[in-house]
Every structure is written in structure tokens, then in C-alpha cells.
Amino acid sequence: MSAGSVAPVVIVGAGLAAWTTARELRKRDAAVPIVLVTQDSGDFYAKPTLSNAFGQKRSPQQLVTTAAADMAANLHVQLHAHSTVQSMDTAARTLELVQAGAVQTLAYGQLVLATGAHPIRIPMQGDAANAVSSVNHLDDLRRLHADLHALPARAQGQAATVLVMGAGLIGCEFANDLLSAGYAVHVVDPSPRPLAALLPAPAGEQLRQALQDLGVVWHFGTTVQRLDAATGGAQRWLATLANGTTLATDAVLSAVGLRADTALASQAGIACERGVLVDAQLQTSAPGVYALGDCAQYASAGGRTLPYVMPIMNAARVLAANLAGTPDVLVFPLMPVAVKTPALPITVAAPDPALQGEWVQDAEATDAQAGGAWRFVDAAGAQRGFVLTGKQTAKRMEWSKATLP
């Protein structure tokens, strides 16, 4: 059978998971047809750069490392950009997609869902509730970038203000980035400290102090209840917090987390929970349909979603092997995450949330300048995770070797 008569591998999505799968598959099979369908342009960029572009004075377009047309040409991929998959039939192995207003049916031999995730939006009252921004894609950053750069010039010494909802990883990264770009930043979070779900309390306190020293104004133990148009003063909006505090701001950025995009899979009857359920071979409950990236819930990770770069890279290599007919199973190695907060660099190798154990601090590194080091020790005394801050992040390799995945 010629390559032209083989039903293609169709990939839905154009983020890191989609393009890396295409690249890895092409390494293994030079002939198999690959079709990539995406709602956006398909340009390739590193998603982690979204949260440090302002400080580096890089425009959204400057984050694009390879244009979609070049990616498609280099990998011999047929690209359907600005196209929406509106339904799928897993029995017939077909997709119905809309491109430029026209509906067409696309057959697949194997299908990869790399549909990513959507920012969680918190219901809010007020006549300006729809003015809240979130950034999870390059187009989101384009809108925020344009919005902030359209603000009127302020008198010298008066910075425009951004209110960040969420003191998790993305919220803290954006807070640090916006501060370094000259904005005044307030951060609101119901937790008692930043990165409360990832860090032991003393490490969170180090980060709180470091960003506060840089200029962040924290509002812990509360949430934004409403956003209204300001009636006077320099700022555009007035945010009202649950504790009664009011904050004048020029922009509101929501960074309260992501929810896997399971809409297409659910519509087709594919099993989903927090994400699209996949086994150790990245197979979903539908034959010939696979998933990875932010939309996937991995059996190999104890049923967790893993919205980080390294899990995507590992999953894409295994998936490409399976798509090419050389079966492989996904076993995640230890995958430390670097938090992009230059005010206090942090490396986290988070333990499985279901694992019983405790954080133990390394007494040799306890102050903010030297940083800190904490081991997560399980009931048997084995090191199963770690957190390094400040200068201690240099020990990443050493501590990774001492940690069981």
C-alpha cells in the first residue's frame, strides 16, 4: 500500500504536545501522512515564555520560534490552521471540521488529542466582570499586551497597576514579570501564602518575602468578588474583595488554574474525568484514539494531569513509538519544575499528592539569601520529592539523583 493510500495520523491541537508528537513520529516514520488541525495559526512557541515576556520586553510575536508553515514543511505535515473540529465519529474514524466557514470530513487511521486546557474562570459580579484577562495561549498574551500598552501615559513615578488573581505558579511568575516591567502589582489568593499547594510553608514564606521586597502587595485569605468601572481617579477598574477591601487597578489577570479541555472527547463518548483518561500507552477508551499534554489524565502518573513541559516531552516520545507500531509504555521519570520567579528562583520536584510523608528542612540552608532546601520523606524514610530555593537550586542534579520518582 502506498503512503498516499494510508489513512493519516491526525493530531488535534498545535501546542508543544502536538508538534512534539509530530516531530517524534516523523523521526520514526518518514512516510506516514500526518495531518494537524488547530483553531489558531499553529505557530510554534515555548509556552513557558508567556509568563516572562513583559520583563524581557519581548512582544508576543517575538516569542514565536518557528512559523506554522515552516513547521509543517519541515515535518511534512498537512496543516489545517484556523479550523475547528466540531465532532468526531470514533467508529467511522472521521472528524467533521469547519474551516473558513466550510464543513469537511476528515478520515483518520489514528487520532491524537492534544487539545490542551482552558483557564478556570471564577464567577464574579460587577459591570466590568468581563474585563478580566487570562493567559494560556499566545493569542491571550497578544490581547493582554495590547491592552496594557494602550493604557494612557502616567506621570513619572506613577506605575499602571495590575491585579493578579491567584498566587500559584503562573500567578507568581506573572507577578514577578510584571513588576520587572515596571507595573505595580497586587496579588489576591484565598490561601495563606504563595504556591501553597506546591511548597512547604517556610519556602512559601521565602517567596512571599522576596516578591514583597520587589513590590508585590499581597492579599491572602480572600478573593475578588466584583469588578466595576472606576468612577474617577486614574485607574480603569475598582475591584472589591471578599474581605471588604477595594483596589483600584488598570487590569485584572486571572491565574487561578487550568481545566483540561475534554469537550471533544466527551462528545465522542471517550472516558474522561479531570482529563481525557489514557493508559500507559497513551490510549484512550476509544480504539485508535490517543491523548497527551494538558488535556490528558495519565494512568502512569497515578491518575494525575501534568501541565508541564517535561511530562509532555516524555509522553510524546512514547506515543510516537506506539503510533509507529513499536509498542512502548510510559514511565515518568523524576521531573523537577523550575519556577520562573527571579526574585527567588525555585526548583520543585513535587511528590505524588496521595503519598504519605513530611517535609524536612535542610539545616544548612535556611535564610532568604542562601535559599532553602527541603526533602519530602515518605513513611519508609525515602526521599520522594524536594524543594530548592535561591542559591540552593544549583543542587538540582544532586538532589534528583537522591530522589525516588
Residue 328: inside a domain:
no
133 shares a domain with 24: no
Mean pLDDT of 60-85: 97
- CATH code for the domain of 383: 3.30.390.120
Q: Domain tally for the chain?
A: 3
Mean pLDDT of 184-192: 98
In 230-336, at which residue ranges do the beta strands (DSSP E only) sit? Answer: 237-241, 246-249, 251-254, 258-260, 276-278, 289-291, 296-298
CA torsion, points 132, 45, 292, 36, in degrees to nearest 10?
A: 110
Residue 365 has pLDDT above 70, yes or no: no
127 shares a domain with 230: yes
Q: What is residue 6's predicted lDDT score, i.e. its pLDDT?
A: 83
Name, in order, each residue with C-beta under 8 angstroms of 182's C-beta and a sequence gap of 6 or more: 159
Angle between helices 309-323 and 16-28 (to 10 degrees): 40
Residue 61 has pLDDT above 90, yes or no: yes
Q: What is residue 387's predicted lDDT score, i.e. its pLDDT?
A: 97
SS3 of residue 361 by DSSP: strand
Mean pLDDT of 345-365: 89
Q: Summarize pLDDT for 304-338 with one digit per residue, the tens.
A: 999 999 999 999 999 999 999 999 999 999 999 99
Residue 2 binned pLDDT confidence (cut-offs 50, 70, 90): very low
Q: Which of 232, 254, 276 is the last residue of a domain?
A: 254
- What number of other Cβ atoms are within 10 A of residue 154's Cβ? 12
- Distance from first CA to last CA of the chain, Å, rounded? 44
Q: What is residue 353's predicted lDDT score, i.e. its pLDDT?
A: 87
Residue 46: inside a domain:
yes
88 shares a domain with 52: yes
| Rounded Cα distance, 282 and 263, in Å | 18
Residue 340: inside a domain:
no
Residue 386 has pLDDT above 50, yes or no: yes
48 in Cβ contact with 71 (< 8 Å): no
148 shares a domain with 89: no
278 shares a domain with 184: no
151 shares a domain with 214: yes
Segments forming the whole domain that contains residue 76:
3-118+258-323
Question: ∠ CA 312-318-324 to the nearest 5 degrees?
Answer: 125
Cβ-count burial of 94 within 10 angstroms (0-12 exposed, 13-18 middle, 19+ buried)?
A: middle
38 in Cβ contact with 13 (< 8 Å): yes
Q: What is residue 369's predicted lDDT score, i.e. its pLDDT?
A: 65
- What number of other Cβ atoms are within 10 A of residue 103's Cβ? 10
378 in Cβ contact with 357 (< 8 Å): yes
Report for 165-179, 223-237, 366-380: range of highest mean pLDDT? 165-179
157 shares a domain with 235: yes
Share of the chain above pLDDT 70, in %: 97
Q: Which of 235, 254, 273 is the last residue of a domain?
A: 254
Residue 401 has pLDDT above 50, yes or no: yes
Strand 346-349 with 383-389, pairing: antiparallel
Q: Summarize pLDDT for 246-292 with one digit per residue, the tens.
A: 999 999 999 999 999 999 999 999 999 999 999 999 999 999 999 99
DSSP string, 92-157: TTEEEEEETTEEEEEE-SEEEE---EEE-----BSTTGGG-B--SSHHHHHHHHHHHHTSPP--TT
Residue 153 binned pLDDT confidence (cut-offs 50, 70, 90): confident
| Rounded Cα distance, 239 and 248, in Å | 6
Cβ-count burial of 257 within 10 angstroms (0-12 exposed, 13-18 middle, 19+ buried)?
A: middle
225 shares a domain with 303: no
Residue 375: inside a domain:
yes
Q: What is residue 396's predicted lDDT score, i.e. its pLDDT?
A: 96
| Rounded Cα distance, 215 and 53, in Å | 19
75 shares a domain with 28: yes
Higher pLDDT, 231 or 211: 211
Q: What is residue 38's predicted lDDT score, i.e. its pLDDT?
A: 98
Residue 97: inside a domain:
yes
Strand 9-12 with 110-113, pairing: parallel
Residue 173: inside a domain:
yes
- Name the grid cell of 332: 515518568
Q: Which of 266, 290, 323 is the last residue of a domain?
A: 323
144 shares a domain with 223: yes
286 shares a domain with 244: no
Name, in order, each residue with C-beta under 8 angstroms of 220's C-beta and a sequence gap of 6 or more: 167, 189, 190, 191, 192, 193
Share of the chain above pLDDT 90, in %: 91
Residue 329: inside a domain:
no
Residue 3 binned pLDDT confidence (cut-offs 50, 70, 90): very low
Mean pLDDT of 86-92: 96
Residue 334: inside a domain:
no
DSSP string, 181-246: TT-EEEEEESSSSTTTTTS-HHHHHHHHHHHHHHT-EEEES--EEEEEE-SSSS-SEEEEETTS-E
Q: What is the mean pLDDT of the chain?
A: 94
- The dihedral of CA 249, 250, 255, 258: what is its sign? positive
- CATH code for the domain of 148: 3.50.50.60
